[in-house]
Structure 1
């Protein structure tokens, strides 16, 4: 899957975007749930509104580039997404608005890049 510059992206929560009709999940991270945590699932701690709002501010930084990696079982694109050159997965981790999930990091790309 090729990288592409897009516009009109909106954060739906702290680890997901909608760019036009495409739903995108940030690679390798899990942010607090906007709704209830499903029973039996280990959900990320924290404030879901603050996490989403931080992602919204970062998207507003500049051009959004999507480096598509895969699709998940829900049909969402799994991707490394950059806004104004900033890796959004790394930025959410650094700001404390998400946790790293090695089991969701195809090729350990986020684990290698985010310090």
Structure 2
């Protein structure tokens, strides 16, 4: 008759099943705590300007675009000033009314989350550039060419590049 050690009897029968389940539960709890935090943002949405917004407690800056600053004005074809910075923020606010999700990339020197975001499945950066309310900085060249050719938004008249405007108007 074979001899059984205490160790092999530990996992036999009803007692063994209970011990095995307890070990599996312990491993699951440990694994759940070791998972990296989610890259998803959540919370209330509020536009700051045409390329950045608050997503709950996080400040988010859209990658690949640069919109006119909030106080920036542009010129219409007739030479009249219009509040292109405020118009860009209004458009972003409208886009933020949809179902928004963001894929985070990193953080900038102001501790803002740098991200590509979608609203109802539409790329927010692409929409802003194609409507002529932001310039492309990375990608979005096709959208910018289309907006420029159609003279949409800032491309209808003249404007100062947002980067140059910020340089001339430091905070």
Answer yes or no: same fold by TM over 0.5.
yes
4+ residue runs over 3 A deviation: 112-115
Instruction: From the CA coordinates, give the structure whose radius of gyration is larger.
Output: 2
Provide TM-score, normalisation by structure 2.
0.51
1:105 corresponds to which residue? none
Shift of 1:29: 0.5
Which of 39, 47, 59 lines up with 2:96 in the alignment?
A: 59
What is residue 107 of structure 2 aligned with on the other side? 71
Q: Cα distance, 1:64 vs. partner? A: 1.1
Residues 1:112 and 1:28: Cα distance change in structure 2 (over 3 Å): closer
Compute the displacement of 1:83 (Å): 1.1
CA RMSD of aligned residues (A): 2.2
Give ranges in structure 2 of 5+ residues lacking alignment.
1-36, 73-82, 144-171
Identify which of structures 1 and 2 has the higher relative contact order when contacts are C-alpha pairs closer than 8 Å and 6+ apart: 1
Alignment coverage as a number of residue pairs: 97
Higher-helix-fraction structure = 2
Higher strand share goes to which structure? 1
Listed as ranges, the gaps of 5+ residues in structure 1 are 37-45, 103-110
